[in-house]
Structure 1
Amino acid sequence: MKTTSAGRSLAWLPVVWCATRLTLLLFVLKVYVFPGPDVTSDVSVIYRGWYEVLRTGTFPLTDVTWQYPPAAAVAILSPGLLPFLDYATAFFTLACAADLAVLALLTHGGLGRGGTLRGAWVWVVGVPLLGPTVYARYDVMVTAVAVAGLLAAARHPRAAGALAAVGALLKVWPALLLLGVRERSAWAAAAVTGVVVAGAFWVAVPGAFAFLTFQRDRGTEVESLGALVFHVARGFGWDGQVVFNYGSVEFLGPWVDLVSTAALTLTGAAFGWLLLWRLRATRFEAHTAADAAFVAVLLFTVTSRVISPQYLVWLIGTAAVCLCFRAGRMTVPAVLVLAASLVTVLEFPLYFGNVVASDRLGVTLLFLRNGLLVAAAVVAGRVLWRATTARETPAPPPEPDPRGPDRREPDPRAGGTPVSRTGPADTPATAP
């Protein structure tokens, strides 16, 4: 029966993937128009502009919206591999190919020993919940690298380390993949790969690390957890404003710097908790690396000054890897992330105007989405801590003999002479 059920699940995976991904492609190619703001303009305008600059052999040094590590240039330049398509169409095609690669990796992992196809289903169902935005950002490409690294962690730690370094140079967050990896070879491979690749960009292309300054100057984005303070405050006369700033829609005005600083402090506290967990953890299983990465990405997402819709792609990918393991324990937080993804497509792009206006609908959607993410982070963190740091339960003391402490037994050393349990072990009892 289990074999039949698994076979049916495997047969339906490509069917559902093809149906949902065809729908996404029809939206990004504008065969059908998805309601709300045009999410594809980032590709056709911003990415395309960066593409033209990067082709000249330099990074966009004067564009503050360029806030990505140097290897991101590879993703932006990748549509050049399909010169027979226009830039946007080529980018969407490659994003879809990366999506398919993730499905293949998760399916292969789920069919292995101790695996399950639940992770593949999380990916197949979760990605389309975000709507066309998922193909209009390069995050799905980064997630493909991260998924490959996490799945390799148990058996191929060096490969996992190298992939984590490449992912980090694409978009920073995959550096968290190493948090739950114990093998030193993984960390060594990550260090070597990171130094070599980053050094190559540093030498060959001017401005490879200018993004660090642009990231530092960001404010509080309207979809973040901290932004809820200002959404509510606007109803009580707060005189700040909402503007497009540093590549996203942010709040500017009184107290914004304070809330941004608080968000950074929370991020630091999250890092401290993760470090404490790493020092206290004593039990590591095949799925621990994926569980730790999932928790880390959740914590850094909810405490960030920015929670863009594409961030949910990271969470869906790491959650899917967790559920590839039959012994995995992250089912509940994974379901919470899927629910948050569904709410995310409502707040952006469908009702993003309501979010920017801070009206009742927009604020309710943000409270719900961010609340689900916070709940997922708390539950996942608790599961990880209890599964890896709980001490062994001490064995219970032996129960007393029901016949009493003065029971006498023959002493084999004395040819059957009774021995009293109340006296020394080798003292013969006095005969009556």
Structure 2
Amino acid sequence: MIGRIGFWTAFVVVHAVLAWICLGLPGSGIGEYAIGLPLGDVSLVYRPWIEQALSGGPVVGITQEWVYPIAAILPMIAAMGFGPDLYAPAWLALITLLNAAGFAVLLGTRPSRRREIAAWWWLAFTALLGPIAVARIDAVTVPIAVVALLLMARHPSVAGVLLAVATWMKVWPAALIAALLVSSRSRGAVLLAGVATSAAIGLLVGVLGGGEHLFGFVSAQTGRGLQIESPVATPYLWLVSAQVPGSYIYYDREILTFQVTGPGTEAVIGLMTPLLALAVAGTVLTGVLAVKRGASVLRLFPSLALALVLVLIAFNKVGSPQFQTWLIAPVIVGLVYRGRAFAWPAGIALALASLTQLLYPYLYGGLLSATPAMVCVLSVRNAGLFVLLAWALADVFGAGADQSSPRAASSRSTLPVSSPE
């Protein structure tokens, strides 16, 4: 009982501190001393979208193109339940409730040692990542994905529905679906549930008159430039830092983000989407080969899911600090089902979270000014993503090598109902 009280006390403290930072850090300063606004997207972007829709104006994703998949509008509308003046606190309360639900499912009634470690890791990662962990639409999808993966063993159809809904809010959970389709024999239930959920969402959007904009988020992403935090933008930031002519940071008012330009950026922008597709295909193929060599889902799925999520981050021309939250679900399932084997990726992820909080919000002005110190921090963080990706791919590649034992054979087709101690 004391242990459970300790978990929930820590949960409340972490989320209360992050809420306090979000509400009390207004974003200030000039140049390299400027501080980012944690709730900027929530208060200055999400709320105006919903106010516009509720006042009879255009509805994003329905009557006009939108940068997000259509289901992202649901939590944005929910946060308006207490009115526009309380939109930001309501958003934070919504994220806290969703995280609490995911945390409760993770702990269960009698948590194993592995689940306890995963719960502490989740709290540590959230605290180290800082306010951005709760201040973007990505924060809604994370607990949904965590719950889906934890329910996968008993309820694959429910997991498929949850992952489909999360994907229609932010695309990244598609990586988890792909990992399940490769590694689990419950793939049929997951696929059927996901397709049915997606069809229902598409039908509803069509009835509301937004069919032509259903996949508008795809074209919105492919047309974007190099966002400054993305790994591919890092060399250009060094050019800006060195004041190389033609290299500079600018604010894209259509996408509402900071991007970088320099020699050859147009060619790089054109290459990144096919390169991302090739990286995803190569990672999936590596997982398929591991399955053919006899890899069990218990051995393969966590590292394959982590690898695919990292590919979406590392080979993306878009890069935002909240992308680090995508690591939470695959690392948690890795800690739950593989224990100490996932200690290294869990530790690296914590380091990445810490570096990301340095970058945003506290020292964001230094990054926008391309000061060498902050570009160096970003370079280390982005290099860490590739180190973690290399670990995950190596683990996927070797997943079929140790599957000859009876215990491995027994776990080959499905995730265990409860995690081993």
SS in 1 for 2:169: helix
Question: Which residue, out of 230, 236, 239, partners 2:246?
Answer: 239
SS in 1 for 2:399: helix
Structure 1 residue runs without a partner (length 5+): 1-6, 394-432
- The one-letter amino acid paired with 1:270 is A
Match of residue 47 from structure 1: 46
Alignment deviations for residues 211-236 of structure 1 (CA, whole Å, 9 cap, x no partner): 22221210101111111121222316
Mapping 1:327-366, distance limit 5 Å: 327=339, 329-366=341-378
Alignment partners' CA distance in 2, 1:65 and 1:331: 42
Question: Which residue, out of 176, 189, 200, partners 1:196?
Answer: 200
Match of residue 138 from structure 2: 139
Change (3 A) 1:335 1:8: farther
CA contact (8 A) 2:309 2:326 kept: yes
Question: After alignment, is 262-271 or 136-145 more displaced?
Answer: 262-271
Tell whether 2:158 aligns with 1:154: no
CA contact (8 A) 1:79 1:87 kept: yes
- The one-letter amino acid paired with 1:214 is A
Deviation at 1:159, TM superposition (A): 1.1
Alignment deviations for residues 329-387 of structure 1 (CA, whole Å, 9 cap, x no partner): 32211211110110001111222222122221111111111111111111122112212
Alignment partners' CA distance in 1, 2:396 and 2:379: 25
Alignment partners' CA distance in 2, 1:134 and 1:320: 16
CA contact (8 A) 1:50 1:60 kept: yes
Alignment partners' CA distance in 1, 2:58 and 2:348: 41
Match of residue 426 from structure 1: none
Higher relative contact order (CA 8 A, sep 6+): 2
Alignment partners' CA distance in 1, 2:173 and 2:269: 23
Alignment partners' CA distance in 1, 2:282 and 2:3: 38
Alignment partners' CA distance in 2, 1:140 and 1:186: 23
The TM-score, its normalising length taken from structure 2, stands at: 0.84
Question: Which residue, out of 285, 290, 294, partners 1:276?
Answer: 285
Match of residue 24 from structure 2: 30
Change (3 A) 1:350 1:115: closer
Alignment deviations for residues 23-59 of structure 1 (CA, whole Å, 9 cap, x no partner): 1111122289898122212111111111123334853
Stretches (4+) displaced over 6 A: 31-35, 61-65
- Give the superposed CA RMSD: 2.7
Structure 2 residue runs without a partner (length 5+): 29-33, 406-421
Match of residue 233 from structure 2: 227
Question: After alignment, is 299-308 or 245-254 more displaced?
Answer: 245-254
Change (3 A) 1:33 1:215: closer
Mapping 1:43-82, distance limit 5 Å: 43-55=42-54, 56=56, 58-60=58-60, 66-82=66-82
SS in 1 for 2:221: helix
Alignment partners' CA distance in 2, 1:203 and 1:365: 48
Deviation at 1:285, TM superposition (A): 3.2
Alignment partners' CA distance in 2, 1:346 and 1:18: 23
CA contact (8 A) 1:226 1:260 kept: no
The TM-score, its normalising length taken from structure 1, stands at: 0.82
Deviation at 1:287, TM superposition (A): 6.2
SS in 2 for 1:97: helix
Change (3 A) 1:78 1:57: farther
- The one-letter amino acid paired with 1:310 is Q
Mapping 1:32-431, distance limit 5 Å: 36-55=35-54, 56=56, 58-60=58-60, 66-83=66-83, 86-108=86-108, 111=111, 115-181=114-180, 182=184, 183=186, 184-206=188-210, 207-234=213-240, 235=242, 237-245=244-252, 246-280=255-289, 281=291, 282-286=294-298, 288-327=300-339, 329-388=341-400
CA contact (8 A) 1:27 1:132 kept: yes
CA contact (8 A) 2:80 2:87 kept: yes
Q: Which is helix-richer, 1 or 2?
A: 2
Alignment partners' CA distance in 2, 1:230 and 1:58: 37
Question: Which residue, out of 18, 21, 29, partners 2:15?
Answer: 21
CA contact (8 A) 2:18 2:131 kept: yes
Aligned residues: 386
- The one-letter amino acid paired with 1:278 is G
Deviation at 1:67, TM superposition (A): 0.9
Q: Which has the larger radius of gyration?
A: 1
Change (3 A) 1:91 1:236: closer
SS in 2 for 1:325: helix
